[in-house]
Amino acid sequence: MNEARLPEGTAPAPAEGAPRWPLWEVFVRSSRGLSHVHAGSLHAPDASMALRNARDLYTRRNEGVSIWVVPSDAIAASDPDSKGSFFESPQGKDYRHATYYTKSEGVKHL
């Protein structure tokens, strides 16, 4: 089943005969200078109505200054089953962190 690889919030294919509104993922920028952050998902017939629904659903208390909506099925996600191998590369590479270098401890402004 390929639905196993769809991102969070992705519903399975609609039942036959019943027209279902597609699912959208909503990202909200809480204030200028910050990134858009995933807030949740919703159903809407198209992008402009998804934006309006997202405004009503996720920003009733001034939670945002900007909203993105993305069709859920347009998101490609890494496979949780391959978690180990997919993120293997940084393992054992402590030297990529500042904390690896201990000899400079006590030296000011370093």
Partner 1 sequence: MARNVQPAGQPAPQNAMEALTPEDAAGQENFDRIIAKDSRVEPKDWMPEAYRRSLVRQISQHAHSEIIGMQPEANWITRAPSLKRKSILMAKVQDEAGHGLYLYSAAETLGTTRDEMMDALVAGKARYSSIFNYPTVTWADMGAIGWMVDGAAICNQVPLCRASYGPYGRAMVRVCKEESFHQRQGFEILLELANGTPAQRAMAQDAVNRWYAPSLMMFGPPDDDSPNSKQSMAWNIKRFSNDELRSRFVGMLAEQVKVLGLTLPDDEIRFNEDTKKWEHGPLDWEEFKEVLAGRGPCNAQRLERRRSAHADGAWVREAAAAYAAKQAAKQSSTNAQKAAA
Binding site for partner 1 (CB under 8 A): 1, 3-12, 14-15, 18-21, 23, 40-46, 48-49, 56-57, 60-61, 77, 79-81
Whichever of 1 and 110 has its CB closer to partner 1, that residue is 1
Q: Which two tokens stand for residue 19?
A: 């027209």
Handedness of CA 53, 51, 21, 73 (dihedral sign): negative
In the complex, least distance from residue 25 CB atom to partner 1, rounded to whole angstroms: 10
Whichever of 1 and 98 has its CB closer to partner 1, that residue is 1
In the complex, least distance from residue 60 CB atom to partner 1, rounded to whole angstroms: 7
In the complex, least distance from residue 57 CB atom to partner 1, rounded to whole angstroms: 6
Whichever of 49 and 70 has its CB closer to partner 1, that residue is 49
Whichever of 62 and 99 has its CB closer to partner 1, that residue is 62
In the complex, least distance from residue 79 CB atom to partner 1, rounded to whole angstroms: 8
**DSSP, residue by residue, the chain:** -GGGGSPTTPPPPPPTTS--PPEEEEEEE-STTS-EEEEEEEE-SSHHHHHHHHHHHH-TTS--SEEEEEEGGG-----GGGHHHHT-TTTT-GGGSGGG--TTTT-TT-
